[in-house]
Amino acid sequence: MNPRQLKLFQRLLTERRQELLDEAGRTVGGMTDSKENFPDPTDRASLESNRNAMLRIRDRERKLIAKIDEALTRIEDESYGLCESCGGPIGLNRLKARPVTTLCIDCKSDQESQERRQRGY
């Protein structure tokens, strides 16, 4: 991958990371607000499940941010865009669709069919 392409993905990933951080900030704000607004037990129960849903979302966001950080590190050491498994290029279109991916499409589908076999489908 050439330096111009690396820069492009660096910008893309940095922007995505910032978006996630902004969303995470809003989620925390929403949690504090709704606590005040639902005093009775039924509402508290639904608040509780809302909160669990939010925590799951935040957990996913946190993992995605970690993946973005890893991708940014790979951009810095210029290993970005190479498949972790076979070492071949991942392909620009695949990276544009999923910039944090570490596997080329062939290795990814191998991995998926292996997972399906392990689950017994």
Q: Which residues contact 44 (CB under 8 A, 6 or more apart)?
A: 38
The alpha carbon of residue 92 and the mean position of all alpha carbons in its chain are separated, in whole angstroms, by 18
What is the number of other CB atoms lying within 10 angstroms of the CB of residue 90? Answer: 24
Near Zn ion by CB under 5 A: residue from 51, 61, 85, 110: 85
CB of 63 to Zn ion, least distance (A): 22
Q: How far apart are CA 3 and CA 9, in angstroms?
A: 10
**Whether 107 contacts 85, CB under 8 Å:** yes
CB of 119 to Zn ion, least distance (A): 22
Residues 10-29 that bind Zn ion (CB under 5 A): none
Supply the minimum distance, in Å, between the C-beta of residue 75 and Zn ion.
18
Residues in contact with Zn ion, counted by CB under 5 A, come to a total of 5
Q: Which of 84, 78, 92, 91 is nearest to 110 (CA)?
A: 84
* Near Zn ion by CB under 5 A: residue from 83, 95, 99, 102: 83
| Stretch binding Zn ion (CB under 5 A), from 30-38, 47-55, 66-74, 80-88 | 80-88
Binder of Zn ion out of 21, 28, 55, 86 (CB under 5 A): 86
95 contributes a contact to Zn ion by CB under 5 A: no
